[in-house]
A = this chain, B = another copy of it.
Amino acid sequence: MTDTPEPAIRRAAEADLPAIVAMLADDPLGATRESPEDLTPYLAAFKRLAEDPNQHLVVAVRAERVVGTLQLTIVPGLSRKGSTRSIIEGVRVHADERGSGLGTRFVEWAIEKSRAESCEIVQLTSDATRTDAHRFYERLGFAASHVGFKLQL
């Protein structure tokens, strides 16, 4: 693809929401739990994220088209001598871009942003069924050292 530039990663804007939600829904797990036909709940969440200085919701854009999204949360804390950590959530790459290296660039962006925010750990959880994702994160240097527990309320 010599005629299209590499995707640029930038802060998400409200106008990106339809494209972001479409990517959240175009996923084996997301298909059953998203509602791309009604953006109202997403808009409320977007506004809350936009106002929070510890939240970094970004998109990857190629040729003016949103092709990926990622949420990075900065979490201060007392443990490990008052270490700040970051949490990666909601990584999605458009179906057309899979295999393009965008996933790697996204995670590398998150790592660089975490360093810039003085984080000492980057963490994330991945559904136990996403074994391809596990190999991907291990290649990027992450250790599968923890068990992730969830409770639906």
Interface on A for B, CB 8 Å cutoff?
Answer: 17, 20-21, 24, 30, 33-35, 41-46, 48-49, 52, 54-55, 57, 69, 71, 73, 75-84, 87, 89-90, 111, 114-115, 119-128, 134, 137-138, 140-153
Number of copies: 2
Known A-B contacts A87-B87, A153-B115; A71 and B77 likewise in contact (beta carbons under 8 Å):
yes
Give A146 to B49 CA distance when docked, in angstroms: 24
Residues of B within 8 A of A120 (CB): 152-153
Give chain B nearest CB distance to A25 CB in angstroms.
10
Instruction: Kindly identify which residue among B42, B44, B54, B144 contacts A54, using a CB–CB cutoff of 8 Å.
Output: B54
Per a CB cutoff under 8 Å, which of B78, B87, B141 touches A42? B78
Q: Whole-angstrom distance from the CB of A47 to the nearest CB of chain B?
A: 9
Closest 9 CB pairs of A and B: A146-B148, A45-B82, A41-B82, A142-B149, A125-B146, A48-B76, A148-B148, A122-B151, A41-B81
Chain B residues contacting A148 (CB-CB under 8 Å) are 123-125, 144-148
**Most chain B beta-carbon contacts within 10 A, residue among A82, A124, A149:** A149
